Chain A
Amino acid sequence: MLMFILRRVFQTIPVIIGVTFVVFFIMQLVPGDPAVLLAGEGASKETIEAIREQLGLNQPLYIQYFEYLTNVFRGDLGVSLKNSQPVLDEILVRLPITIELAFFSIIITIVLGMAAGIISAVKPYSLTDVSVMLVALLGISLPSFWFGLMLMYFFSVKLQVLPVAGWDSLLHVILPAVTLGAGGAAIVARMTRSSILEVIRQDYIRTARAKGLRERIIIYKHALRNALIPVITVVGLQFGALLGGTVLVESIFAINGLGRMIVDAIRMRDLPMVQGGVLFASLIFVTVNLFVDVFYRFFNKRIELN
Chain B
Amino acid sequence: METAEKKIILQVDHLKQYFPVKKDSFFKPKAYVKAVDDISFELYEGETLSIVGESGCGKSTTGRAILRLDEPTDGKVHYMGQDILGLNKKEMRKLRGDLQVIFQDPFASLNPRQTVKQILNEAMAIQEVVDKPKRKDRMLELLGYVGLSAESLDRYPHEFSGGQRQRIGIARALAVDPKLIICDEAVSALDVSIQAQILNLLKNLQKQFKLTFLFISHDLSVVRHISDRVMVMYLGKVVEIAEKKELFDSPLHPYTQALLSSIPVPDPTLKRDRVILKGDVPSPIDPPRGCRFHTRCPFAVEKCKQEEPPLRELVKNHFVSCHIAEDLPV
Q: Which residues of A contact B (CB under 8 A)?
A: 1-3, 304
Residue B24 at the A interface, CB < 8 A? yes
Instruction: Determine the distance from Cα of A178 to Cα of B23 in the docked complex, in whole angstroms.
Output: 44
Q: List 8 A-B contacts (CB under 8 A).
A: A1-B24, A2-B25, A3-B23, A3-B24, A3-B25, A3-B26, A304-B22, A304-B24
Known: A1-B24, A3-B24, A304-B22. 5 other contacts (CB 8 A): A2-B25, A3-B23, A3-B25, A3-B26, A304-B24
Interface centre among A1, A3, A304 (most CB of B within 10 A): A3
Alpha-carbon separation in the docked complex, A207 to B247 (Å): 41
Closest chain B residue, CB of each to CB of A1: B24
Measured between alpha carbons, how far is A304 from B25 in the docked complex, in Å?
A: 13
Residues of B within 8 Å of A2, CB to CB, are 25
Question: Smallest CB–CB gap between B183 and chain A, Å?
Answer: 27
B23 nearest CB neighbor, chain A only:
A3
Measured between alpha carbons, how far is A197 from B22 in the docked complex, in Å? 33
With a cutoff of 8 Å between Cβ atoms, the chain A residues found around residue B24 in the complex are: 1, 3, 304
Set of chain A residues within 8 Å of B25, measured between Cβ atoms: 2-3
Chain A residue, CB-CB nearest to B26: A3
Q: With both chains docked as a complex, state the minimum distance between the C-beta of B24 and any C-beta of chain A, in angstroms.
A: 6
Q: List the B side residues contacting A304 at CB < 8 Å.
A: 22, 24
Chain B residues close to A by CB (< 8 Å): 22-26
Q: Chain B interface mostly helix, strand, loop or mixed?
A: loop
Give how many A-B residue pairs fall within 8 Å (CB-CB). Answer: 8
Which residues of the other chain, A, contact B26 by a CB distance below 8 angstroms?
3
**Smallest beta-carbon distance B31→chain A, Å:** 13
> A2–B24 Cα gap in the complex (Å)?
8
Q: Would you list the 8 A-B pairs with minimal beta carbon distance, nearest first?
A: A3-B25, A3-B24, A3-B26, A304-B22, A1-B24, A3-B23, A304-B24, A2-B25
| Alpha-carbon distance between A3 and B25 when the two chains are bound, in angstroms | 6
A163 to B22, CA, bound (A): 55
A-side contacts of B23, CB under 8 Å:
3
Q: How far apart are B299's CB and chain A's nearest CB, in angstroms?
A: 34
* Cβ-closest chain A residue relative to B27: A3
A162 to chain B, nearest CB (A): 51
Q: Within 8 Å CB of A3, what residues of B? A: 23-26
Q: How far does the alpha carbon of A3 sit from the alpha carbon of B23 in the complex, in Å?
A: 9
A300 to chain B, nearest CB (A): 15
Contacts of B22 in A (CB 8 A): 304
The residues of B that contact A1 with a CB separation of less than 8 Å are 24
Cβ distance B33 to chain A, nearest Cβ, rounded Å:
13
B29 to chain A, nearest CB (A): 15
Alpha-carbon distance between A2 and B26 when the two chains are bound, in angstroms: 10
Per the bound structure, the CA–CA distance linking A304 and B23 in Å amounts to 10
For residue A123, give the distance in angstroms from its CB to the closest CB of chain B: 33
Max count, chain A CB within 10 A of own CB: residue among B22, B24, B25, B26 = B24
- Determine the residue in chain B with the shortest Cβ distance to A6: B26
Query: Which A residue's beta carbon lies closest to that of B24?
Result: A3
Cβ distance A79 to chain B, nearest Cβ, rounded Å: 43
Cα distance A3–B26 when bound, in Å?
A: 7
When chains A and B are docked, how far (Å) is the Cα of A3 from the Cα of B22?
Answer: 11
Report the bound CA distance from A2 to B25 in whole Å: 8
What is the CB-to-nearest-CB distance from B22 to chain A, in angstroms, rounded to a whole number? 7
Q: Which residue of B lies closest to A304 (CB)?
A: B22
CB distance from A293 to the nearest CB of B (A): 16
A1 CB → nearest B CB, Å: 7
> Given the complex of chains A and B, what is the CA–CA distance between A40 and B26 in angstroms?
59
* Shortest distance between the CB of A298 and any CB in chain B (Å): 14
Closest to B25 in A: A3
- In whole Å, how far is B290's beta carbon from the nearest beta carbon of chain A? 28
Nearest A-chain residue to B22, judged by Cβ: A304
Complex Cα distance, B22 from A304, in Å, reads 8
Q: How far is the CB of A2 from chain B (nearest CB, A)?
A: 8
What's the least CB distance linking B21 to chain A, in Å?
10
Smallest CB separation, B41 vs chain A (Å): 31
Tell me the complex Cα distance, A1–B22, Å. 12
Instruction: Report Cα–Cα, A19/B2, bound state, in Å.
Output: 74
Q: How far is the CB of B28 from chain A (nearest CB, A)?
A: 10
In the bound complex, CA of A2 to CA of B23 (Å): 12
How far is A1 from B26 in the complex, measured between Cα atoms in Å?
A: 11
A279 to chain B, nearest CB (A): 31
Please, how many angstroms separate the alpha-carbon atoms of A140 and B23 in the complex?
Answer: 42
Minimal beta-carbon separation of A73 from chain B (angstroms): 26
* Bound-state Cα–Cα, A126 to B44, Å: 66
CA distance A304 to B26 in the complex (A): 16
Task: Report how far A63 CA is from B50 CA in the complex, Å.
Answer: 69
Q: How far is the CA of A1 from the CA of B25 in the complex (A)?
A: 8
Nearest-neighbour CB distance to chain A for B7, whole angstroms, equals 43
Determine the distance from Cα of A137 to Cα of B24 in the docked complex, in whole angstroms.
Answer: 43
Chain B nearest Cβ from A68, distance in angstroms: 35
